[in-house]
Structure 1
Amino acid sequence: MLTGFCGFAQDDVEVKGNTVTMRETAPIWPGCESADDKKECWNKNFMDHVKQNYKYPKNEKGEYIRGKATVSMEITEKGNVVVTKVEGDNPKVNAAAKKMIMSIPKMTPGKLAGKPRAIKYTIPLTF
């Protein structure tokens, strides 16, 4: 009779009976590593980034264009931001939103079961 078993130790993995639970952690914005509430810190820094880096495009008359854009992005296993899709009514607003999102600084990547993992986000923005 041959009996085999496998033992493993991973961070953020819990096994109970036939159920395996793996904990996912979100990416961490630079400077938020020691924050008590990392999600709140991420949100605050993201909003500050939008305020400081979004450049309103202008129309042919030189007037600022306002609008909405929904940005789908991914923070990779290496912490880089990649924009996968931008949807909105105005192509100039979409391009400005993409440029602003691409300038987000490199982050500590998200993790699944203690290993780096790409995390996807969809963010609606109104300018």
Structure 2
Amino acid sequence: MKELFLILTLLLTTNAFSQDGIMLSQENANEKGITPMWPKCDRSRQTPIQCFNNQLRTHIIKNFEYPEVARKEALEGTVNVEFMIDKKGKVEILEVTGAHRYLQQEGIRIIRRIPKMEPAKWGNKPIAIVYKVPITFLKPQ
């Protein structure tokens, strides 16, 4: 009886991990050393996670534009953009919170411009990773 229970338990756990819907948070993915591969990070001397984080930071800085409407209205604040790099390596916006909607729209625009990349993999299966990035807008002088 114990053997039958053990076999059933092993079969059920294997099926639970073999589902296609695996999605990890950035923290869990980093703990396991799993990350999407930003273009050209495969040739970097940095670890894939370090390269991804640096490329994301550079991408945000390079693409940042203070919205003219927000500038005129002297709007500022922090926008939190939660997004996913899906199993195909494409960006999907999940949630945007904080600050004014004009600033939120700029945060969305920046994140949507992230290039397509090689998706993260769990073993040989591509998986989705969820990220949350704060973007702070300080009114220009």
Into which bin does the TM-score normalised by the smaller protein fall?
A: 0.7 to 0.9
**Is the contact made by 1:27 and 1:111 (CA closer than 8 Å) also made in structure 2?**
yes
TM-score (norm 1): 0.74
> Aligned residues: percent identity?
32
- The alignment yields a C-alpha RMSD, in angstroms, of 2.4
Aligned length, in residue pairs: 107
- Pick the aligned partner of 2:119 from 92, 96, 109: 109
Structure 2: 5+ residue stretches without partners: 1-31
TM-score (norm 2): 0.67
Q: Which residue of 2 aligns with 1:57?
A: 67
Cα pair distance change 1:25/1:55, threshold 3 Å? same
Cα pair distance change 1:25/1:93, threshold 3 Å? same
**Is the contact made by 1:57 and 1:65 (CA closer than 8 Å) also made in structure 2?**
no
Q: Which residue of 2 aligns with 1:42?
A: 52
Q: What's the CA shift string for 1:8-48, capped at 9, x where partnerless?
A: xxxxxxxxxxxxxxx66210110101324112211211111
Structure 1 CA distance for aligned equivalents of residues 130 and 55 of structure 2: 18
Higher strand content, 1 or 2: 1
Structure 1 CA distance for aligned equivalents of residues 110 and 130 of structure 2: 17
Divergent runs of 4+, >6 A: none
1:60 CA drift (Å): 7.1
Structure 1 CA distance for aligned equivalents of residues 41 and 73 of structure 2: 37
Higher helix content, 1 or 2: 2
- Pick the aligned partner of 2:93 from 83, 96, 112: 83
